[in-house]
Amino acid sequence: MEVNEKMPANLPPTYYKLKHEHEAAKTDEERLRILEEMLRIIPKHKGSEKVVSDLRRRIAAHKRAPSEKGGKGAGRKSYSEHIPKQGAGQIVLLGPPNTGKSQILAKFTNAKPEVSATPYTTTTPLVGMLRYENIQFQLIDTPSIMQDFISPTVLTLTRNADISLPVLSLASDNLLDDLDAVTALLNEAGNGTPENGQLIIANQLDVAGADERLEILKEFYGETFQIYPISAETGEGKDVLLEELYRALDILRVYPKAPGKAVERDDPIVLPNGSTVLDAAIGLHKDFQEFKFARIWGPQWHDGQSVSRNDVVYDGDVVEFHL
């Protein structure tokens, strides 16, 4: 197996040493270890983009099908990652390199991803919690997608997400190609397509020429995608985006109230739209599912009226359970 022949000139000597080791390696195990080491030490910039993407593809191929290659692959764990959901919804950022996915995670959450002008900086998914009013969304930053290769990890995350959220950059001169790469991933994952009102972030609204590029993007795709222009740098567009994410998650918040006590506003019960009084009781605590009766407050109700377990609840309702 030859590692990409068209090498940029400025690779470190260790890289070439490893390349020779790779060629001499006898087992897949060894080859994988060397490829990972090559990826680790290679400087990541525009000039090395091809080599980096080539290395990643080889590493993924080794991990995907170790036994097909003659190695002792039986019993190896799957490398495609699944991240358990937390908070009111799982939102997975995905997209081409350098669009600002890590910057969004860094600015919008407490997570500390590496943000850099070199493409493919992010190599593993990273999670942060994104506050929206009195709830939190789980935001996941992922390794950037490549033109000709879909990473199993990113694919799995995209599949399992409540919202798969592509991030494009208004600093890119290849916006339409970028969107094609994103669409290919969404189609493969079967989660997120224009038909179901796919949301897209157009980041870096603050850069020179962003307005013009946004116009072009809207002209071509404004009808098929819901495009949200933001600047992770300045925070512009963030509030509008968060409101839309809340709406797209299709959830509601109800507020529990103990008899004779004030309403708890800072810890809502979060439920899918269409949930019932019983769902709210279970959401509060399993002990409440046997409640005797419940009273409710909200625009759809008479203040404090009694409701039955199967009545649907509305966003913002206050519910008082009597055991």
The secondary structure of residue 83, as a DSSP letter, is -
Q: Which residues 139-198 are close enough to bind ligand GTP by CB under 6 A?
A: 144
- Of 120-179, binders to Mg ion (CB under 5 A) are 121-122
Binding partner at 283 among ligand GTP, Mg ion, none, C-beta below 5 to 8 Å by kind = none
Instruction: Provide the total of helices (H) and of strands (E) in the chain, helices listed first.
Output: 9, 11
Closest separation between CB of residue 143 and Mg ion, Å? 7
We find the least distance from the C-beta atom of residue 263 to ligand GTP, in angstroms, to be: 38
Taking CB under 5 A as the binding criterion, the range among 24-32, 114-122, 148-156, 244-252 that sits at the site for Mg ion is 114-122
Give whichever of 174 and 305 is closer to Mg ion, judged by the CB atom.
174
Q: How far is the CB of 217 from Mg ion (least distance, A)?
A: 21
Taking CB under 6 A as the rule, does residue 116 contact ligand GTP? yes
Residue 115 interacting with ligand GTP (CB under 6 A): yes
**Residue 112, Cβ density class (10 Å: 0-12 exposed, 13-18 middle, ≥19 buried):** exposed
- For the record, the structure tokens of 74 come out as 């039986």
| Interface with ligand GTP, residue 204, by CB under 6 A | yes
Element (H, E) at 200: strand 199-203
Give me the least distance between CB of 243 and ligand GTP, in Å please: 19
Residues 165, 230: Cα–Cα separation, whole Å: 13
- CA dist 57 and 149 (Å) reads 7
Under rule CB under 6 A, how many of the chain's residues touch ligand GTP? 22
Distant-in-sequence, close-in-space partners of 229: CB < 8 Å, separation ≥ 6: 170, 201, 202, 205, 210, 214, 236, 237
Binding site for ligand GTP (CB under 6 A): 97-103, 115-117, 119-122, 144, 203-204, 206-207, 231-233
